[in-house]
Amino acid sequence: MEDKKRLPRHVSIIMDGNGRWAQARGKERVFGHLEGVESVRACLEAAVEDGIEYLSLYAFSEENWNRPQAEVNALMELMMESIRKETANMMENGVRFLVLGNRSRLSEKLNAAIDALTRETSANPRTTLIVFLSYSGKWDIAQAVRKAASELPAEKLQSLEPEDLDKYLVTAGIPDPDLLIRTSGELRISNYLLWQCAYTEFYFTDVLWPDFRKPQFREAIAAYSARDRRYGKVK
């Protein structure tokens, strides 16, 4: 019972280190991305098995569009392929699929595939898998402000509270991450969920994303479970 209480509802991961993993083996960066898909599968499986409600993954940032075109294309193709390959698996395991980010920058073909999988999995009752694609935290806040400004009367805007803005972020209705994991030893947030991580617990590991599998995922969950969250209060 106590264990259940300490389980994070929402685990988020900045999946980093694919390029270095490949380069350490004398291979092209894209091999690291390919191997990284296996880590996604493993962590999703662990999340489903352990009863984690939300698993979200930072797959591609707005800044990542500035990478060489060939790498961007490879990543987008990998996304298409993963959608095709993982559909059956998600249906079997009761996984609900969502993509959040600046969808206007994705190809029509990819957007259509995302929409189809989102629709197909929408009633699945177990873990919700959220893929952040073409996402950045500052972009999210800016689009939320734009939407709020166009929908709310001036009077309401003038007295806007943080909870009011929550409803316009792309994560509306999704609980904030309880635990944010970043692999590959980098100690930064790289414009990820800036607003939503206000009280998130951070977990950094040197393990590169392609090496981050079920045991490493469960180790991070265990570290979270041992922490004391105070939210500014005295306990």
Positions touching ligand IPE (CB under 6 A) are: 14-20, 58-61, 64, 75, 184, 186, 188, 190, 209
Q: Based on CB atoms, which residue is closest to ligand IPE, 212 or 224?
A: 212
Q: Based on CB atoms, which residue is closest to Mg ion, 66 or 158?
A: 66
Nearest C-alpha neighbor of 147 from the set 131, 130, 164: 164
Distance between CA atoms of residues 112 and 79, nearest Å: 12
C-beta nearest to ligand IPE: residue? 19
Least gap, CB of 207 to ligand IPE (angstroms): 12
Binding-site size for Mg ion (CB under 5 A) equals 1
Q: Which of residues 16-55 bind Mg ion (CB under 5 A)?
A: 16
Residue 103 site contact among ligand IPE, Mg ion, none (CB < 5 to 8 Å, cut-off depends on kind): none
- 180 bridge partner residues: 12, 202
Site for Mg ion contains 176 (CB under 5 A): no
Least gap, CB of 210 to Mg ion (angstroms): 12
Least gap, CB of 140 to ligand IPE (angstroms): 14
Q: DSSP string spanning 39-97? A: HHHHHHHHHHHHT-SEEEEEEEEGGGGGS-HHHHHHHHHHHHHHHHHHHHHHHHTT-EE
